[in-house]
């Protein structure tokens, strides 16, 4: 109802009511993550204050909140993408190692270093905006909290991920395939194309499981 | 005014301004001085941490939009609804609404500058608009009138910050000043129409109890924001008693103030006495 009771009960003055001309529906509460992010209070006073249910009292664990979704939107200015170890967004994340992980990749520019790319996982990100506020870039942040509808693509339901299906079914769904020899890897089991088979295998996908 | 002196000729006006500004002050004590007696704004508020108050017009929009709010908002709207049902619907307009100060000022300036004419829409427009607002709320699932409502925007603006909402309030002022006499509150505002419908059976009424003393100076008609409500009571047209029972009367008391013959008084709907 745009009464502002959530604004009044926010202990960090994070929430504001939009004024006519702001980029938000006039009178509705919002916050600017770059200036004052959500501190994710355990008792969620804004939700308790809301008399209408615009903020849903079904939310009792702040880690279940979905205020938006952080997106590392600018790969060109992000220091970690440039090969440095900034990591600030990762460090300040209240849901560290779940909502943001650092993923290790080869750095092709130096060809001898690693890139540690901050990677957001929608399953855990609350959209609190601590990462956007903390980003060390001078003005706009490289990582920003966006509305979820803007941030996420929709997953094609018919598109199956082979590795997930194989794990669920306990084996390949399409049966074993014809084995053709790979030159130089004759000693290794079929399908193993690693150059250093002694190194521990990395799980599929972006989540390598690596921790600093 | 010549016969009564300035103070007596502005008694109810001063009482009204004191009420309007007093209510506003209660809301501003928090953000300005850190004294949190009342939080929120006229749309929905919490007083002393226990008393919820919610605007029933906004609640009606919310219900039309298909959203049932939590108990606090329902109780709050129930309290406000009961008050205006009992005391007087458009008492909200004259004694609480912040836009009233703006449109009263426009009407005063219009009289002072001698601005005449203009184009005022039919007074039933506000009822159509009220129905339209509820339909739009139902269709869009949003609080339709709150996108443009200058009443909530002015009040919220004073407490939380305006942005460009100033323009909307200025628009209402200029419309009343230059285009339509008493145009906003008397013709357009669906919120006023809503409260008018609430107050059809309400207690507090203005009576033209000493109408026999009327000398037809027309001062009351000139100052009244809804002048059509006076005639039936003052001139006994379509009724015998001197009570102004029209739902559009805001009980502002300006007629009581300006009448040199003390024809009018503020009383209850049961007081049909005449002298």
Question: Would you say B151 and B102 are in contact if contact means Cβ atoms under 8 Å apart?
Answer: no
Q: Give the residue carrying structure tokens 């015998």.
A: B240
Q: Which among A8, A16, A22 is the nearest to B40, CB-wise? A: A8
Give the integer Cα–Cα distance in Å for B71 and B66.
Answer: 16
Which residues of chain A have a pLDDT value below 50?
204-205
CB contact under 8 A, A17 and B156: yes
- The first and second tokens of residue B47, run together, are 């007083």
B152 touches chain A (CB under 8 A): yes
Tell me which chain A residues have a C-beta less than 8 angstroms from the C-beta of B154. none
Nearest 10 degrees: CA dihedral of A200, A204, A209, A212?
80
Q: Tell me how far CA of residue B24 lies from CA of A92, A139, B99, B131, in angstroms.
A: 41, 39, 12, 29
A8 touches chain B (CB under 8 A): yes
Q: What is the pLDDT of residue A49?
A: 92
3-state SS assignment for residue B90 = coil
Q: What is the pLDDT of residue B273?
A: 84
DSSP A134-190: H--SSSS-SEEEE-HHHH-PPPPTT---HHHHHHHHTS-TT--------TT-TTSPT
Question: Would you say B202 and B269 are in contact if contact means Cβ atoms under 8 Å apart?
Answer: yes
3-state secondary structure B26-62: HHHHHHHHCCCCEEEECCEEEECCCEEEECHHHHHHH
Q: Which among A5, A16, A17 is the nearest to B39, CB-wise? A: A5
E strand map for chain A: 16-17, 29-30, 69-72, 100-107, 113-120, 143-146
Strand partners, A119: A101
Closest residue on chain B to A23 (Cα):
B163
B224 touches chain A (CB under 8 A): no
Which DSSP helix (H) or strand (E) runs through A91? helix A88-92
Give the integer Cα–Cα distance in Å for B219 and B222.
Answer: 5
The number of C-beta contacts closer than 8 angstroms across A and B is 94
A2 touches chain B (CB under 8 A): yes
CB contact under 8 A, B153 and A7: no
Tell me which chain B residues have a C-beta less than 8 angstroms from the C-beta of A5. 39-40, 44-46
Q: Give the residue carrying structure tokens 């060390």.
A: A136
Neighbouring CB atoms inside 10 A of A183's CB total 5
Per-10-residue mean pLDDT of chain B, 275 residues long, equals 80 94 93 90 90 93 92 93 92 94 94 86 91 94 90 91 88 92 92 92 91 90 91 87 91 92 91 83
CB contact under 8 A, B62 and A1: yes
Q: What is the pLDDT of residue A202?
A: 57
B167 touches chain A (CB under 8 A): yes
Give the integer Cα–Cα distance in Å for B8 and B123.
Answer: 32
Rounded to the nearest angstrom, the minimum Cα separation between B33 and chain A is: 14
Q: What is the pLDDT of residue B1?
A: 59
Tell me which chain A residues have a C-beta less than 8 angstroms from the C-beta of B160. 4, 7, 16-17, 19
Which DSSP helix (H) or strand (E) runs through A88? helix A88-92
What pTM value is reported for the model?
0.82
Q: Tell me how far CA of residue B53 lies from CA of A147, A196, B15, B67, B74, in angstroms.
A: 32, 71, 23, 18, 9
Q: Give the residue carrying structure tokens 């609480």.
A: B96
Tell me which chain A residues have a C-beta less than 8 angstroms from the C-beta of B52. 51
Q: What is the pLDDT of residue A186?
A: 81
Q: What is the pLDDT of residue B240?
A: 85
Q: Among B41, B55, B74, B170, which would you mutate to test the A interface (most chain A Cβ atoms within 10 Å of its Cβ)?
A: B41
Rounded to the nearest angstrom, the minimum Cα separation between A27 and chain B is: 8
Q: What is the pLDDT of residue A203?
A: 53
Closest residue on chain A to B168 (Cα):
A20
Q: Is A108 left (phi over 0), alpha (psi -120 to 50) or beta?
A: alpha
B149 touches chain A (CB under 8 A): no
Q: What is the pLDDT of residue A210?
A: 59
Closest residue on chain A to B160 (Cα):
A17
Helices (H), chain B: 11-33, 56-64, 71-87, 91-95, 99-113, 125-140, 150-160, 165-174, 183, 190-198, 219-223, 230-234, 254-258
What does residue A18 show for φ and ψ, rounded to 5 degrees?
-65, 140
């Amino acid at each position: 109802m745009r009464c502002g009771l959530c604004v009044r009960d926010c202990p960090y003055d994070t929430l504001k009511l939009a004024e006519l001309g702001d980029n938000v529906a006039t009178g509705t509460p919002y916050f600017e993550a770059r200036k004052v992010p959500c501190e994710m209070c355990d008792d969620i006073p804004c939700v308790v204050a809301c008399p209408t249910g615009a903020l849903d009292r079904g939310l009792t664990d702040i880690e279940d909140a979905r205020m938006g979704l952080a997106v590392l939107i600018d790969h060109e200015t992000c220091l970690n993408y440039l090969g440095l170890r900034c990591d600030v967004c990762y460090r300040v994340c209240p849901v560290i190692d779940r909502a943001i992980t650092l993923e290790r990749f080869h750095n092709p520019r130096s060809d001898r270093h690693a890139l540690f790319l901050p990677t957001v996982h929608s399953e855990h990100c609350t959209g609190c905006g601590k990462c956007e506020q903390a980003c060390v870039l001078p003005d706009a942040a490289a990582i920003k909290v966006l509305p979820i509808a803007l941030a996420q693509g929709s997953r094609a339901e018919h598109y199956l991920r082979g590795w997930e299906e194989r794990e669920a079914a306990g084996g390949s769904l399409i049966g074993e395939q014809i084995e053709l020899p790979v030159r130089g890897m004759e000693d290794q089991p079929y399908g193993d194309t690693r150059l250093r088979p002694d190194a521990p295998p990395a799980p599929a996908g972006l989540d390598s499981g690596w921790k600093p | 005014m010549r016969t009564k002196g300035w103070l007596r000729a502005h008694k109810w006006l001063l009482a009204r301004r004191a009420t309007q500004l007093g209510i506003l002050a209660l809301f501003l004590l928090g953000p300005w001085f850190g004294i949190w007696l009342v939080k929120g704004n006229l749309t929905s508020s919490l007083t002393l941490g226990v008393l919820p108050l919610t605007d029933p017009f906004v609640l009606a929009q919310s219900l039309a939009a298909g959203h049932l709010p939590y108990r606090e908002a329902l109780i709050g709207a129930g309290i406000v609804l009961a008050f205006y049902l009992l005391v007087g619907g458009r008492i909200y307009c004259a004694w609480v609404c912040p836009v009233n100060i703006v449109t009263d000022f426009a009407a005063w300036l219009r009289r002072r500058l001698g601005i005449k004419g203009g184009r005022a829409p039919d007074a039933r427009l506000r009822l159509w608009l009220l129905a339209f607002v509820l339909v739009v709320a139902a269709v869009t699932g949003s609080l339709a009138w709150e996108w443009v409502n200058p009443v909530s925007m002015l009040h919220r603006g004073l407490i939380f910050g305006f942005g460009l909402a100033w323009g909307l309030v200025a628009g209402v002022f200029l419309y009343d000043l230059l285009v339509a006499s008493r145009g906003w509150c008397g013709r357009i505002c669906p919120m006023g129409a809503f409260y008018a419908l609430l107050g059809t059976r309400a207690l507090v009424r203005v009576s033209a109890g000493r109408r026999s003393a009327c000398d037809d100076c027309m001062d009351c008609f000139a100052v009244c924001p809804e002048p059509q409500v006076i005639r039936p009571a003052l001139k006994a047209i379509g009724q015998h008693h001197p009570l102004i029972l029209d739902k559009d009367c805001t009980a502002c008391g300006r007629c009581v103030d300006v009448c040199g013959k003390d024809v009018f008084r503020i009383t209850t709907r049961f007081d049909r006495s005449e002298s």
